[in-house]
Amino acid sequence: MDIFVQQVVSGLATGGIYGSVALALVMIYQATDVVNFAQGEMAMFSTYLAWTMINAGLPYWVAFFATLAIAFVGGLVIERVVIRPVENAPVLTIVIVCIGLLVIFNSVAGWIYSYIQKPFPGPFPEKPIMIGNVFFGAHDLGALGVTLLVLLFLYLFFRYTTLGLAMRAAAQNPTSSRLCGIRVGWMLALGWGFAALVGAVAGMMVAPVVFLDPNMMAGILIYAFASATLGGFTSPGGAVLGGLIVGVIENLVGTYVRFIGTELKLTVALALILVVLVVKPSGLFGRAAVHRV
């Protein structure tokens, strides 16, 4: 039973990270109908920036927030400079541009920082925390807490501020939004900024576990796809919940199903994508796309 609880909490911690990246994917997908394949690499690159700042002697949390700011501005600039020129191009064109970004970020990170894994510090104590008579990893609990805080912040922002409302409106109905005086292009750019910010949080929270290297987000992006597919690509809340579910399933299957173990965990995510797409393509909380013709 103790192992079960431990595995669930640890699953929630990684699930929160999958959910964050899934949320980033969904935010951009909802606004532009495009899946940003470079989301993971953008997060990885942000994490390297944090590493650089921490190595230069900045306190962890200063580096953390500085990284968030840089990631936000970076996401915004990428949308304005790279995505905007192909805004009205066919979806495939934009997908290729995103894949181009993925390769660029990956190569540049490898070029600057090399492909050797680096340890990345966590802000939480090493010592496990005992609650009741079960031990929990401090990093698991901390990462889960940070992730939930960021998600709560985003929820409040989108739910209660006028800017958040305008961003939702721009994603839903660009034409009507323009008629309300909303600068739709900038709302999309802000969406990229927030997505990059969420990704950066995920990167910094997962790096202490998987170690920092240019390919660290590859697997996580697949889990994020599984999460977004499970929760529904049209539902931000669903994507986060999907992430938590995927994290827990992954951990429990890895622990209790002997032949899967740690090596085949990623296969679980891919199998999950397949099952969801066959059984309920819109995901648990998504709406089926309806196109009027």
CA distances from 249 to 14, 50, 66, 130, 274 (A): 11, 30, 34, 23, 15
State which of residues 184, 189, 207, 217 lies at the interface with other proteins (CB under 8 A).
184
Specify the residue, 162 or 262, whose C-beta has the smaller distance to other proteins. Answer: 162
Least distance from C-beta 177 to other proteins, angstroms? 7
CA distances from 118 to 9, 48, 102, 236 (A): 26, 10, 20, 32
Q: State both tokens at 22.
A: 């899934």
- Run of H or E including 129: strand 129-131
Which DSSP string corresponds to 243-282? HHHHHHHHHHHHHH-TTTTTTTHHHHHHHHHHHHHHH-TT
Q: How many residues form the binding site for other proteins (CB under 8 A)?
A: 17
Give the per-residue contact string, 153-182, with other proteins (x = CB under 8 A; - = no): ---------x--xx-xx--xx-xxxxxxxx
Least distance from C-beta 285 to other proteins, angstroms? 13
Least distance from C-beta 153 to other proteins, angstroms? 20
Specify the residue, 69 or 180, whose C-beta has the smaller distance to other proteins. Answer: 180
Least distance from C-beta 159 to other proteins, angstroms? 10
Specify the residue, 60 or 157, whose C-beta has the smaller distance to other proteins. Answer: 157
- Kindly give, in sequence order, each residue whose CB lies less than 8 Å from that of residue 278, ignoring residues fewer than 6 positions away: none
Local structure of residue 132 (DSSP, 8 states): T
Least distance from C-beta 170 to other proteins, angstroms? 10
Residues 7-36, interacting with other proteins (CB under 8 A): none
Least distance from C-beta 166 to other proteins, angstroms? 6
Least distance from C-beta 181 to other proteins, angstroms? 2
Give the orientation angle of helix 216-231 with respect to helix 2-32, to 10 degrees: 80
Specify the residue, 215 or 282, whose C-beta has the smaller distance to other proteins. Answer: 282
Least distance from C-beta 85 to other proteins, angstroms? 17
Specify the residue, 27 or 44, whose C-beta has the smaller distance to other proteins. Answer: 27
For position 251 contacting other proteins by CB under 8 A, the verdict is: no
- Run of H or E including 9: helix 2-32
Cβ atoms within 10 Å of 101's Cβ, excluding its own: 19
Query: What residues are paired with 130 via a beta bridge?
Result: 135
Specify the residue, 171 or 197, whose C-beta has the smaller distance to other proteins. Answer: 171
For position 282 contacting other proteins by CB under 8 A, the verdict is: no
- Kindly give, in sequence order, each residue whose CB lies less than 8 Å from that of residue 265, ignoring residues fewer than 6 positions away: 250, 253, 254
For position 183 contacting other proteins by CB under 8 A, the verdict is: yes
Specify the residue, 116 or 180, whose C-beta has the smaller distance to other proteins. Answer: 180
Count of residues in the chain: 293
Specify the residue, 183 or 281, whose C-beta has the smaller distance to other proteins. Answer: 183
Distance CA 32, CA 167 (A): 12
- Run of H or E including 131: strand 129-131
Cβ atoms within 10 Å of 132's Cβ, excluding its own: 8
The tally of CA atoms less than 13 A away on the side-chain side of residue 10 is 19
| Residues at the interface with other proteins (CB under 8 A) | 162, 165-166, 168-169, 172-173, 175-184
